[in-house]
Amino acid sequence: MGEKPVVLVTGAGRGIGRGIAISCAEAGFDVAGVDILYDPANKDSGLFELQRKVEEQKVSFLPVQGDISALHDHERILKEILDFYGKVDVLVNNAGIAPEKRRDVLTTTADSFDRVISVNTRGTFFLTQRVAVQMIEHSKKGCLKNPCIIFISSISAEVSSPSRAEYCISKAALSQAAKIFADRLTEFAINVYELRPGIIQTDMTAPVKEKYDKLIKEGLVPQRRWGFPEDVGKAVVALAGGFFSYSTGLVLEISGGMNIRHL
């Protein structure tokens, strides 16, 4: 096993996951990036563009193809990472999808509901279960440094969006999963945290950029700007670096102040 801590980031090929991977690399972590898209010929975007950015920080990067919603992929994903690094110190559950089409809650389809839940909740839950068992074994042997699991949920875990009910429900369930894993893993000194990003500028939010530009300008976000992937990345580094070691179960909102209730 190497001396550097190893962070596993799901959905690392773009958006928030990419920002998290780069921030962790800048902080000295070796990085295993998992993404459903895997194209070694594409050096301009995706995992192999990210590999170049990460390795600029003099740490290593392992690109891993994997579909989080496919439970049969989980064993192979973890095996590839353990064969390469020998351990996982930090798991960042970032992979997530939005509905392909926003629909009113009164017309939400079962297919859309199942698709979103399969990645955001079901796949993430069972990958965490598998990685946690491995982390327990290594933690008992004293092989891990500040072992922790970080769930990237959303302000939508609490904020209602009737045009994407399945997304909100998936993130609310993920929030509860984080709490349960935090409770269970205290016995093994593995901390678990939940990060709730607000309105973050990514490919996922690009289709509604004009809408949110207007709302942010009007004061929806007290800090009056979009969030960026690196904002979430910095929070991950603080948690993974052990700065909140006495705060397992912590829920941290990265939303520019949207958590402030005001008149």
Instruction: Give the whole-angstrom CA distance, residue 5 versus residue 246.
Output: 19
Give CA separation, 172 vs 24, 26, 35, 120, 148, in Å: 26, 31, 23, 10, 21
Secondary structure class of 81 (helix, strand, coil): helix
Catalytic residues: 167
Instruction: Give the whole-angstrom CA distance, residue 178 versus residue 129.
Output: 11
Instruction: Give the whole-angstrom CA distance, residue 114 versus residue 141.
Output: 39
Residue 161, CA atoms < 13 Å, CB-side half-sphere: 20
Asked whether the beta carbons of 65 and 35 are under 8 A apart, the reply is yes
Strand-by-strand arrangement of the 30-35 sheet? 61-65, 30-35, 6-10, 90-93, 148-152, 191-197, 251-254
- Per-residue buried b or exposed e for 126-163, using 16+ beta carbons within 10 Å of the residue's own CB: ebbeebbebbbebbeeeebbbbbbbbbbbbbbeeeeeb
Instruction: Give me the helices (H) in the chain, please.
Output: 15-26, 47-55, 71-85, 110-117, 124-140, 165-185, 209-217, 229-240
